[in-house]
Amino acid sequence: MSEGLVELYPNHVASVVQRAERALAFANFDHLLIASGREQYRFLDDRPLPFVSHPPFKAFVPLTQQTDSWIVVTPGRKPILVYCLPDDYWHLPPAAPHGYWVEQFDIRVIRTPDDAAQHFPAFSDKLAIIGEAHDTVGVYRPNNPVRVLSSLHYTRSAKTEYELSCMRLAQSRAVRGHRAAEAAFRAQGSELEIHRAYLAATGHSDIDLPYTNIIGLNEHAAVLHYQYQRHDRPSAHRSFLIDAGAQVHGYASDITRTYGNGDSEFEALIGAVDLVQQRLCGKVRAGQNYPELHIEAHHLLASVLLEQDIVRMSQEAMVEQRVTSTFFPHGLGHPIGLQVHDVAGFHANEAGETIPRPPGHPYLRMTRTLEENFVVTIEPGLYFIPMLLAELKAGAQAAQVNWSKVEHLTQFGGIRIEDEVRATVGEPENLTRNAFAAA
């Protein structure tokens, strides 16, 4: 999947190196070492845990499963890639460095992890070393300077053209899976069968997905991070919520869709949430305060609850009295890129000072004002969660709720619709809707 990326990659690396040099100057360090990570094993076992390269390493190179390797940045010099290519007949070792990215690095091939030290600058307190404690090589122990990491995270928020291209490809890959998953739902498949249809269509395995797929039938759609995929088929396929993504060269996609199976009230609710979602997506522009957009989502969803005769209060009263939080208990979305929940969502500045969440909204994952080429998810939803509904029923607003309709809708679980949207100075780019249209 390197189509169109060859021309964009050199400028991307130049930007990433510039960010690294800026972070070093900001924090008063001379060199930056970034570990790819080291394979770890389960407790009291010889089975390795699933491995993925550290995000700051993936920012430089499209190597998502490269262990025991390093990026070395010294201002004014070509970045070094210390590439571990072990002699191993128990496992398939990585291929020798090749591809559109190799010319941008001074590549040093090593055979064992400890060999990396001979390619590092002399050890001093002016080395910023990014990684986990188990990435240590000799005296080179990760110190993760806060100011260096904060600067790297903050400047990573605006995506390069190369990154945007990778994210568009990840959207297209995920959309193929979503189409296959919907077809499997229509064919009365189990959650596990639907999940397997998704994997087959995307070419992913469970290990290399960017996150664990959420495949929820019926009431399971009300569990926000539903973590199972049942093998048995339910007696009825009333509804289906899929929250599933893909990745290309380390960049993630994150898409959610909800489907009904003919019930007019639930289908009408899906349509109403979809209209709200598209309206919110249209406001993802440079200069938009993200918490304000989250609060607007509550007001728009309140109007849906009123129009659909679920709650009989004004939308202002619903938001003020936090009735909407019963039905929409999570945040509007989050930054996305090298990580599904990307870094720096709360950063006020390069030093890492943070912007607090609005009072009463503890699960919002982003509080920044959007800038050009930020990519965020927009994922409003309405859910019928028994635990939260019980609290509402015991409260002062209980008489304003149409409980017979709530009881009917509870069997469908809930609705979430999620797109990824790029902020621009003009019309936003909806990466997800564009990918579905192209499919």
Q: What's the token pair of residue 5? A: 């990326």
Q: Is it the case that residue 1 has pLDDT exceeding 60?
A: no
**What is the strand order of the sheet 239-244 is part of?**
214-217, 239-244, 255-260
For residue range 220-233, list pLDDT tens digits in order. 999 999 999 999 99
Q: Is it the case that residue 82 has pLDDT exceeding 70?
A: yes
d(CA 431, CA 305): 28
Percentage, residues of the chain above pLDDT 90: 99
Q: What's the token pair of residue 431? A: 């990466």
Contact in structure between 268 and 412 (CB atoms under 8 Å): no
Return the closest-CA partner of residue 119 out of 106, 133, 101, 104: 106
Q: Is it the case that residue 2 has pLDDT exceeding 70?
A: no
Q: Which amino acid is at 308?
A: Q
Average pLDDT of the segment spanning 375-401: 98
For residue range 295-348, list pLDDT tens digits in order. 999 999 999 999 999 999 999 999 999 999 999 999 999 999 999 999 999 999
Q: Is it the case that residue 3 has pLDDT exceeding 80?
A: no
Torsion angles phi and psi, residue 259, rounded to 5: -130, 140
Q: Is it the case that residue 104 has pLDDT exceeding 80?
A: yes
Q: Going from the N-terminus, what domains does the chain have, and what CATH number goes with each?
A: 9-155 (3.40.350.10), 161-438 (3.90.230.10)
Contact in structure between 180 and 197 (CB atoms under 8 Å): yes
Torsion angles phi and psi, residue 228, rounded to 5: -115, 165
Q: Give the chain's mean pLDDT.
A: 97
Percentage, residues of the chain above pLDDT 70: 99
Q: Which amino acid is at 157?
A: S
Average pLDDT of the segment spanning 378-390: 98
| pLDDT computed for residue 435 by the predictor | 98
Q: Which amino acid is at 276?
A: V
Strand pairing partners for 378?
Answer: 419
d(CA 269, CA 257): 13
For residue range 132-165, list pLDDT tens digits in order. 999 999 999 999 999 999 999 999 999 999 999 9
| pLDDT computed for residue 4 by the predictor | 84
CA dihedral of 52, 56, 61, 65, whole degrees rounded to 10: -10
d(CA 186, CA 189): 7
Q: Is it the case that residue 428 has pLDDT exceeding 80?
A: yes
Burial of 176 (0-12, 13-18, 19+ CB in 10 A): middle
Q: What does the angle CA 381 – CA 385 – CA 390 come to, to the nearest 5 degrees?
A: 135
Average pLDDT of the segment spanning 103-109: 98
